[in-house]
Structure 1
Amino acid sequence: MTQIIYLNENSLEDASNRGINVPQYRKPPSTTKIGIVHIGPGAFFRAHQAWYTHQALKHKGGHWCISAVSLRSRGVSEALTDQDGLYCLAELDKETHFEVVGAIKEVLVAREQYAQVIARLTNIDTKFVTMTITEKGYCLNSQGELDLTHQDIKHDLQRVTERVSAVGILVEALSIRHEKGLPAFTVISCDNITGNGTKLKKSIVAFASQTNKKLSDWLAKGLTCPSTMVDSITPATDDALRDLISQKLDIKDNWPIKREAFLQWVIEDCLPSDRPAWEEVGAVLTQDVEGFEKAKLRLLNCTHSSLAYLGSLMGIETVYDAMQNTQLITFIEKMIDEEILPSIDGPKELDAKQYSQDILQRYRNPAIRHLLSQIAWDGSQKIPMRILPIIQQNLEEGRSVRLLCHALAAWMHFVRLRLAKDERLVDPLASQLEKLGKSCSGNAQSDVSLFLSISSIFPASLVANSELNSALVTAYKNLAPVLNNNQHSWFV
């Protein structure tokens, strides 16, 4: 029986001899320095940005290892410190592929190792800070600006003790660098926030301006915060994954991770020349991050929601299962070709047609169990972002909205039927929708009018559009056979 390898730098040679894909740049005596600090070392970061950096180190070298910093939680540090930051990545597809990722060289906890974190951020070798801290971690108000009333920001501005917010810690480190005559590091937000780079820089400058105008002026002129877009499904680590790593690789890994084969990292093309070779291992540098975001909302998010509502009405449980239904596939492909792609004037770096095919292939991944019921959550927030802008543009430009209206009508039926069955509705407008649902009768004209009366979802210009109203009523009627389990030709 093969002996289990306990993953760390000293075991890499043994793992390599057994045919395991390990990072050669981390084998002792490794001289690769830390050049990046990452705040928020969750699973997505380790499956995404750390993997891109790992690939850049493998293929192009450089001193770009990562110091991963958790603001409060000790979990990642406890799991990975004994492993010298190493972990196994399982890439899930029809076949599962494994490799050991070595980009992380240390894991710190700011709450317990504050001085070490500041020392790392102010080290001359640190040239980038990347972040995955979720939207909540930026302490923004409803206008997308730094919330000076947020308790963490108020605490950090008082500077009574060590700072606790990411923005506060970054400003402290940048202040020290400014005093020492060191250049500012580049800060890259990798969270799903529209215009994340712009909002992050404004927040950092706004925080600095509260205490040090000279510093805020320096940051306003010289701090680089590119906007980004990121994408890859990264399911949570479970014991089944740990057992799989143990069985397939004979490796004991405290915290392996898994993700789908598809991944995307789009970065605003304003990075300094001295950088990891991210763009040579799959990242895209562009002047039009917003164009990529628009394409993602329309080709990925819109079709995702459409599958969720239509599939749920048809009694289908997962995205993969939905993609086994010929009628749904035909509908989605037709909607993409006839109503979504014509609305996209994509960036020059994006082949929108190929991107749409890549998305459909992702949906066919048998290793990813993505529940339609979860995608269907929060429809009142998602529909105004994912579906209505396409409908609005197509109406203005004289294109069809017939299929998009079927997706919208499916959401209306989904809400109505869940409430009729006294099932829980996960939505910020749940109470309002519950009152509306009690008034729904199944009559297309009256039900559609009730839903269109929700002004926080539907703008007045759409409500007043006769073409939209007619298409929605027709779609609502067309879906009746689906509800009666007679599903042929419901959208033709």
Structure 2
Amino acid sequence: MQQLNIAIDRSQISNEVEFKMEEVKLPEKVIQIGEGNFMRGFVDWMIHQMNNQGLFNGKVVAVQPTPHGKVVPKLLTQDCLYTVSLRGIQAGKRVEKNEIITAISRAINPYTHWADIVTLAESPHLEFMLSNTTEAGITYYKENYNYKESPLSFPGKVTAILYHRYLAFEDKAKSGLTIIPCELIENNGDRLRELVLQYASDWNLPQEFIDWVNEHNKFCNTLVDRIVTGYPKDELDHYSKTLQYEDSLLTTGEPYHMFAIEADEDIAEKIPFHKAGLNVKWGDVTPYRELKVRLLNGPHTMMFAVCYLSGVDTVLEAMTDETLRSFIEQGINEEIFPMVNMEKQEKEAFVTSVIERFLNPYNKHFLTDIGMNAVYKFKSRLLPTLQEYVSQNQKLPDAIVFSLAALFTYYRPLRVEGDFLIGKRGEQEYTIRDNPDVLLQFSRAWNKVDSNESSIETMVTEILANQELWEIDLNLIPDLTQTVTTDVNHIVNNGMRVTVMKKMKQVTR
């Protein structure tokens, strides 16, 4: 079986694979820091779609973000070609599309080939910088500047690249870049600019350069949304038969995608994702962040403990369980949906896509993974909805409050093991992963209950009062303490499955 490479014979490509190759060499318009699964299956896939339609006509140079990366050698071996396989549910139907992506022109390890990065920074064709270095990438790391070597940190690399570019052009006003970070932190563009300016100050770079960064480079806040599951190591037989070639960078993901970019019309015209039929939103990203956090991330947090303690392991299993699906849809449709401030038609379309994503048979989205750092997730994803629901309706949202009681029960430890707690579902143990302070609070509180030193009501009251966890005293929300206490008691005494079935029967009466 052949290795994927640029000289591949089109006649040997299976009909299951779409492969389009530009006949004309395109200029390198994008420097991309980060070459992992997400960028290859999201941004580079998008640029490929634009190039195929003659809308962008530019290539990406992929840059390794850390010293220990393994992707660049694989890209170089495959002439920067790789396959994206998108599988899931669309319009109620199961779909699978395999496509060879040709957006990347070359890949560079900056720690061994920094001179190549400098040459690229000086290119008149370069217009954009894109990135995904994980949330940990947009952080400060004190380091010295050596113009002959790559900085270690991501913001340091951005600063050095911009400084080389600043020095290379006489017309400063026309030499700036549009910088579009894809890291999953709020206001990622603003934060990256702050760090670049901090590095410029640390390194005593000229004030004129700092002015140029502020005046002629655009840092865009963004929001990205697509599940990219990466290399399908458990399904290689399927892909070997389907593709008829080997691809060490085969990248799988879901069909759904959304990219919100806080930028003006001028930038949208230069990199016109939307004209290629892609789900890209230009302008303020705030409403789309709320849409995603509340109607996608919120239901994930709402379901994880209820469904896991009911005996299922994945989102898909929960959605194919009649009782659990009723619980999930009650929370989405009746409690979260009305609290999202956006045009109804767009909200409805998003909810439809969320349900399809939850039903994706190709994604094993484990509930215990969703349950990592669940206290923070509840505070950020569900608590604002709970508070607004109470304010508007003068009553508690049943599903959201029940999910809080389920979270309390999920955090009941059997024992401490290293940095984590171990819980128990029936005869099966599971790992409770969260901030050490959070785990300590729950461990101490449950230990008092289990040793009869305290009641469940006292435990619930103490934890709800902890403003280090929630930022407010949740006991001040009318009826919340008693309702959570009652629900926890029912779960402990009767089990989750029996309790949630009883609740859903009460709802349907």
Aligned to 2:166: 178
8 Å Cα contact 1:57/1:276 also seen in 2: no
Matches within 5 A, 1:332-371: 332-346=328-342, 351-371=346-366
Give the C-alpha shift of residue 30 in structure 1: 3.2
- Cα shift at 1:248: 0.9
1:129 maps to amino acid: M
- One-letter code of the match for 1:190? C
- Please list the CA deviations of residues 304-355 of structure 1 after superposition, one character each: whole Å capped at 9, or x if unmatched: 0122110111011111100011111111211122211121112x69711221
Q: CA deviation at 1:412?
A: 0.5
- Alignment-derived partner of residue 433 in structure 2: 426
- 2:178 counterpart letter in structure 1: T
Q: Aligned-pair distance for 1:375?
A: 0.9
Q: Which runs of 5+ in 2 are unaligned?
A: 89-93, 416-422
Counterpart in the other structure of 2:126: 126
- 1:327 matched to 2:323: yes
Q: TM-score, normalised by structure 1?
A: 0.89
Residue equivalent to 2:84? 89
Corresponding residue of 1:187: 179
Distance (Å, rounded) in 2 between the aligned partners of 1:435 and 1:474: 20
Aligned residue number for residue 91 of structure 2? none
1:404-452 CA distance string (max 9 Å, x none)? 1011111001112655648542111223321122023595523321321
* CA deviation profile, 1:439-470 (whole Å, cap 9, x unmatched): 23595523321321332222334322233223
Work out which of the residue numbers 15, 18, 22 in structure 2 matches 1:21. Answer: 18
| Equivalent residue for 1:490, pick from 503, 506, 509 | 503
Q: Residue 119 of structure 1: CA displacement?
A: 1.3
Q: Which residue of 1 aligns with 2:300?
A: 304
Aligned mates of 1:452, 1:223 — CA distance in 2: 45
Q: 1:99 to 1:392 in 2, by over 3 A?
A: same
State the secondary structure of the residue aligned to 1:336: helix
SS at match of 2:365: coil
Q: Which moved more, 1:348-357 or 1:172-181?
A: 348-357
Q: What's 1:144 paired with?
A: none
Correspondence 1:435 to 2:444: yes
Q: In the alignment, is the contact (CA less than 8 A) between 2:449 and 2:456 conserved in 1?
A: no
Return closer, same or farther for 1:75/1:243 CA change in 2, 3 Å cut-off. farther
Selected match of 2:408 from 394, 412, 434: 412
User: 2:387 matched to which residue of 1?
Assistant: 392
Residue 353 to residue 376, structure 1, CA distance change in 2 (3 Å): same
Q: Verify: 1:232 aligned to 2:232, yes or no.
A: no
Structure 1 residue 79 corresponds to structure 2 residue 74: yes
Cα distance in 1 for residues equivalent to 2:14 and 2:309:
52
Alpha-carbon distance between aligned partners in 1 of 2:43 and 2:503, rounded to the nearest angstrom? 43
Deviation at 1:279, TM superposition (A): 1.5
The code of the aligned residue for 2:351 comes to S
- 1:45-71 per-position Cα deviation (integer Å, ceiling 9, x unaligned): 111011111111112343321100003
Work out whether 1:6 is the aligned partner of 2:3.
yes
8 Å contact 2:118–2:164 — kept in the other structure?
no
Match for residue 56 of structure 1? 50
> Contact 1:242 / 1:253 at 8 angstroms: preserved in 2?
no
Q: 1:155 is aligned with what amino acid?
A: N
Give the whole-Å Cα distance in 2 for the aligned partners of 1:471 and 1:18.
57
1:414–1:431 CA distance, 2 compared to 1 (3 A): same
Give, as a single letter, the amino acid of the residue that structure 2 aligns with 1:462: L
Worse-superposed segment, 49-58 or 376-385: 376-385
Residue type of the partner of 1:351? E
Is the Cα–Cα contact under 8 Å of residues 27 and 57 in structure 2 kept in the other structure? yes
Q: Which moved more, 1:61-70 or 1:315-324?
A: 61-70
Q: Letter of the 2:21 partner, please give it.
A: Q
State the Cα RMSD in Å: 2.4
Structure 2: how far apart are the matches of 1:66 and 1:425?
41
SS in 2 for 1:36: strand
Write the letter of the residue equivalent to 1:467. D
For 1:74 and 1:336, the matched residues in 2 are separated by: 40
Which residue matches 1:201?
193
Shift of 1:361: 1.3
Rounded to whole Å, the distance in 1 between the matches of 2:331 and 2:233 is 40
- Check 1:160–1:112 CA distance in 2 against 1; reply closer, same or farther (3 A cut): closer
Alpha-carbon separation, structure 2, partners of 1:79 and 1:448: 52
Alpha-carbon deviation of 1:282?
1.4
Q: Is 2:288 the counterpart of 1:292? A: yes
Partner deviation per Cα, 1:114-137 (whole Å, 9 max, x = no partner): 110121122111100100001211
Instruction: Specify the code of the residue in structure 2 equivalent to 1:425.
Output: I
Q: In 2 relative to 1, CA 95–418 (structure 1 residues): closer, same or farther, beyond 3 Å?
A: farther
Local SS of the residue matching 1:251: coil
Question: What residue is the counterpart of 2:247 in the other structure?
Answer: 253
Does the CA contact (< 8 Å) of 2:13 and 2:244 recur in 1? no
Partner of 1:457: 469
Match of 2:143 in 1: 154
User: Partner residue of 2:418?
Assistant: none
Give ranges in structure 1 of 5+ residues lacking alignment: 140-146
CA distance in 2, matches of 1:160, 1:123: 18
Aligned residues: 473
The CA deviation at 1:484 is 6.7
Match of 1:248, SS? helix
Distance 1:240 1:127, change over 3 A: same
Report which stretch shifted further, 465-474 or 191-200. Answer: 465-474
Q: Is the 8 A contact 2:38 2:228 kept in 1?
A: yes
**Identity of paired residues, percent?**
21
C-alpha separation between the residues in 2 aligned to 1:408 and 1:311? Answer: 13
Tell me the residue number matched to 1:169: 157
Question: Helix, strand or coil: the match of 1:246?
Answer: helix
For residue 201 of structure 1, what is the amino acid of its counterpart? R
Find the residue that maps to 1:45 and give its secondary structure: helix
Q: Is contact 1:122–1:174 with CA below 8 Å preserved after alignment?
A: no
AA of the residue aligned to 2:143 = K
Q: Distance in 2 between matches of 1:437 and 1:228?
A: 41
Q: 1:189, 1:333 → 2: CA distance? A: 33
Cα deviations across residues 287-319 of structure 1 (Å, max 9, x unaligned)?
221111112111111110122110111011111
C-alpha distance 297-261 of structure 1, shift in aligned 2 (>3 A): same
